[in-house]
Amino acid sequence: MGFIRGFGQFWYDLIIGDDWKIAVAVVTTLALGTGVLLAFAVPGPVLTPVIGLCLMAAFVIALRIDTRD
């Protein structure tokens, strides 16, 4: 039982880490990007920079939330 608990904690710390907001932003952005890619047949090289910009915006928003007074 200890092994299973440790295994679960390892993956939780790896995926979620210190900030759950960033983990949610990454999963949401990748899911939306996949949805757009499948629904509209947009070429991957066109969509990749857009996904990157969305991830950077999510990091900035999470940082602003964490550092506001």
The answer to the question of residue 3 being in a domain is no
The answer to the question of residue 40 being in a domain is yes
Helix boundaries (H) for the chain: 2-15, 20-40, 44-67
The answer to the question of residue 7 being in a domain is no
How does residue 69 score in pLDDT terms, banded at 50, 70 and 90? low
Q: What's the token pair of residue 66? A: 């964490």
The answer to the question of residue 11 being in a domain is no
Rounded Cα–Cα distance for residues 60 and 38 (Å): 27
pLDDT for the residue 62? 85
50 pLDDT more than 70: yes
Could you report the per-residue pLDDT of 17-45, keeping only the tens digit for each?
777 888 888 888 889 888 888 888 878 78
The tally of domains found in the chain comes to 1
The number of CA neighbours under 13 Å toward the Cβ of 2 is 0
The answer to the question of residue 1 being in a domain is no
Q: List the domain range (segments joined by +) for residue 37.
A: 18-67
Rounded Cα–Cα distance for residues 25 and 56 (Å): 10
The answer to the question of residue 9 being in a domain is no
